[in-house]
A = this chain, B = another copy of it.
């Protein structure tokens, strides 16, 4: 094996949003991000147990041992993915006006390409069997459902608050279920190839029925 010296610049994907300028050939934070992106896609699509660390490392174009270095373990990488998905979810859905909730959900389900948002949703149904990861996911789901309910006028101390929260969680369940049914391993038609525009109508009816606008 001759150690070639051609610029291993490879595909140079993920210009990201932060440092689009020249990329250092050795950049820990970028490597971390490459691993996170690859892992999120794999975990969301294939589940935790079916994904191997070698798969992830190959997708990221990075050595396997770096997963242990940066995330301690496969579990640690999974937890980092959950945290990242939670952050991003909270950021993108945080200030959704009450009347645009169905559109926001439709956008999430339809995703923005293969690397898109829908893999965040699918990730939330994947379990690693680890208690710490389960706790993170439960937190993300709880906050999301509370956020959705709040966007439709819910307040924690109102009477019947529990029922409203239950209804919000049914809506979340629908969104996540749809994301998984659309995913590559199932691809249920016509749901799988439905566009954002196709989804927004049914979703508006669904959300309005579960959480009537004020």
Which A positions have Cβ atoms within 8 angstroms of B? Answer: 46-50, 125, 127, 129, 134, 137-138, 141-142, 145, 162-163, 165-167, 169-178, 180-181, 185-191, 194, 198, 201-203, 205-206, 208-210
Contacts and interface: CB of A to CB of B under 8 A. Distances in A.
Given A125-B180, A172-B181, 14 more contacts: A50-B129, A141-B181, A142-B189, A145-B188, A163-B201, A166-B194, A169-B178, A170-B203, A173-B177, A173-B180, A174-B174, A174-B177, A176-B177, A206-B206
A26 to B, nearest CB: 34
B125 A177 contact: yes
A193 to B, nearest CB: 10
Copy number of this protein in the oligomer? 2
Contacts of A125: 125, 177, 180-181, 186
B141 A202 contact: no
A141 B48 contact: no
A186 B129 contact: no
Contacts of A201: 163
Contacts of A194: 166
A55 to B, nearest CB: 12
Interface centre among A166, A189, A198, A210 (most CB of B within 10 A): A166
Given A48-B50, A50-B129, A134 B181 contact: no
A5 B166 CA distance: 53
A206 B178 CA distance: 14
Given A50-B129, A125-B177, A180-B125, A191 B169 contact: yes
